[in-house]
């Protein structure tokens, strides 16, 4: 009898229509990069909270340093969404929609919590909202990296150059291309950030090709605590602000 070769769990070569789709492979470098983004976010929000408690003075809406700092954080997060879509492209639809539902639920919780804390500037379309919607919109292009890259460049260009009064409406500001930034504590519209997700798809394919996959798989270079942080990024995102605010309420 011939022995069938058993496909390893997490093998990205698994067929998309497999009855039990493989779990997406983990790469230490990707988890570490996501963990690095989480660390930057913690620094940013800690500084924001210090300013909120009037311990320091900082203008997060106009200061070039803080605007650039935030831009780096958001870029890392949303680009890694595109990379992760490539890594998980052979996972089952059920797994995809389960993950989407989790992120969407967390986004809704953030909106509710921010409304309680900042009723005049609560979050209507922040980073989690953008990740949830962009994941759905970008998924059809996950196997077409060149098209994804071209579409991504176009969306980034439009998002940064086209500003129309039509999108100033509170019901449409999630699209982007507004003439002014809405009054909200976190704003990550689809234009231009969906474009960064699509560019991340192209990066994901580039990384997995031409032997680069072995480099990403090694965990010897990336500290274990950083990969752990990246693998638990959603949990950390959801709990870090209550923890930081709670600590500052006690010590200030």
Considering the chain, what percentage of its residues have pLDDT values greater than 90?
Answer: 79
- Which residues constitute the domain of residue 98? 28-251
What mean pLDDT do residues 180-203 have?
A: 96
pLDDT of 8: 40
For residue 8, tell me if it sits in a domain. Answer: no
pLDDT in tens, 218-244: 666 889 999 999 999 999 999 999 999
Domains contained in the chain, number: 1
Identify whether the C-beta of residue 126 lies closer than 8 Å to the C-beta of residue 107. yes
In a domain, 14, yes or no: no
Q: What is the rounded CA–CA span in Å between residue 237 and residue 252?
A: 23
Model pTM greater than 0.85?
Answer: yes
User: Which long-range CB contacts under 8 A does 12-16 form with residues at least 24 apart?
Assistant: 12/87, 12/89, 12/90, 12/208, 13/90, 14/90, 15/90, 16/89, 16/90
The reply to whether 11 falls in a domain is no
With respect to residue 4, please indicate whether it lies within any of the assigned structural domains. no
Q: Is position 92 within any domain?
A: yes
Residue 13 falls inside a structural domain: no
Q: Specify the pLDDT at position 216.
A: 66
Q: What is the pLDDT of residues 162-189, one digit of tens each?
A: 999 999 999 999 999 999 999 999 999 9
pLDDT, greater one: 117 or 13: 117
For 7-31, the pLDDT digits (tens) are: 343 433 333 343 344 556 678 889 9
Q: Does residue 6 sit within a domain? A: no
Does residue 5 sit within a domain? no
d(CA 217, CA 203): 16
The reported pLDDT for the residue numbered 209 is 81
């Amino acid at each position: 009898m011939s022995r069938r070769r058993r496909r390893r769990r997490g093998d990205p070569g698994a067929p998309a229509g497999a009855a039990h789709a493989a779990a997406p492979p983990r790469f230490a470098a990707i988890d570490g990069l996501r963990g690095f983004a989480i660390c930057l976010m913690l620094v940013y929000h800690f500084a924001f909270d210090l300013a909120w408690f009037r311990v320091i003075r900082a203008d997060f809406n106009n200061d070039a340093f803080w605007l650039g700092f935030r831009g780096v954080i958001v870029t890392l997060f949303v680009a890694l969404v595109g990379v992760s879509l490539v890594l998980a492209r052979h996972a089952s639809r059920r797994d995809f929609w389960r993950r989407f539902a989790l992120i969407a639920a967390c986004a809704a919780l953030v909106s509710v919590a921010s409304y309680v804390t900042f009723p005049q500037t609560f979050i209507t379309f922040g980073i989690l909202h953008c990740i949830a919607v962009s994941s759905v919109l970008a998924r059809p292009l996950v196997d077409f990296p060149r098209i994804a890259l071209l579409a991504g460049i176009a969306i980034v260009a439009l998002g940064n150059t086209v500003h129309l009064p039509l999108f100033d409406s509170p019901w449409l500001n999630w699209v982007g291309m507004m003439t002014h930034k809405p009054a909200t504590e976190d704003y990550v519209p689809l234009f231009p950030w969906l474009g960064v997700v699509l560019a991340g798809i192209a990066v994901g394919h580039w990384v997995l090709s031409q032997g680069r996959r072995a480099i990403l798989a090694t965990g010897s270079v990336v500290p274990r605590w950083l990969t752990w942080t990246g693998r638990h990024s959603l949990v950390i995102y959801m709990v870090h602000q209550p923890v930081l605010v709670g600590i500052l309420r006690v010590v200030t």
